[in-house]
Chain A
Amino acid sequence: DQQVKQNSPSLSVQEGRISILNCDYTNSMFDYFLWYKKYPAEGPTFLISISSIKDKNEDGRFTVFLNKSAKHLSLHIVPSQPGDSAVYFCAADNAGGTSYGKLTFGQGTILTVHP
């Protein structure tokens, strides 16, 4: 029972273009969402997050959009750079409950940005 799904295992984008990574969730109790980035042989690093009271959060080249009715979020990277090539994980939390930071992760999407 996968509560957080990233249906695209991989994405290939040209440098300078937009990268759009998608994530769907099924548990309506999730109210906080995060994106992590992972390079090979390293642990995931936090990238950006969004609370369910918002529909957009922006940080430099990274923007996360949340569509609660569709239970869908996306990460936009503009412009994409070769250094953005990594695995991107979507994660969700029930922060409004008795949360202590237990996250539910998607399977990840491998992003490759070509020069």
Chain B
Amino acid sequence: GAGVSQSPSNKVTEKGKDVELRCDPISGHTALYWYRQRLGQGLEFLIYFQGNSAPDKSGLPSDRFSAERTGESVSTLTIQRTQQEDSAVYLCASSLVPGGSFGGYTFGSGTRLTVV
């Protein structure tokens, strides 16, 4: 597709349930990033993929969070045993090469996760 696609756009889940968030990056983009934005805060880095590898997972808040990428394309962010503090907008971005910050990378519209 022309842009970064994320699904679902909205997700309401009960505390303690697992959720999966999906990101389809721009075709050919080797670098993929996950960020999250909690209410009233800036975007927090979660994880970076180069191809299917994740050289930097330093932003994942706890071991309840995991992510994978396959086929150098789709990425899935999984949150196990969700807690209310996980409520946020989860944003995925991709760039053609790492260091896409020089031209800015392309964000998806995000998944708004609400844990009740």
Residues of A whose CB lies within 8 Å of any CB of B are 2, 4, 6, 32, 34, 36, 41-47, 49, 89, 91, 93, 95, 99-108
Contacts and interface: CB of A to CB of B under 8 A. Distances in A.
A105 B101 contact: no
Interface string B55-79: 1100000000000000000000000
A95 B95 CA distance: 15
Contacts, number: 77
B93 A34 contact: no
Place the interface of chain B in its size category: 20 to 34
A107 B38 CA distance: 10
A107 B100 CA distance: 21
Given A102-B33, A108-B42, A43 B105 contact: no
B61 to A, nearest CB: 15
B1 interface: no
Given A43-B91, A95-B101, A107-B41, A100 B56 contact: yes
A42 B48 contact: no
B31 A102 contact: no
Interface string B79-116: 00000000000010101001111111111111000000
Contact of B93 (A42, A43, A95, A99): A43
A101 B105 contact: yes
Contact of B43 (A2, A45, A89): A89
Contacts of A102: 33, 45, 48, 56
Contact of A105 (B31, B43, B102, B105): B43
A66 B45 CA distance: 24
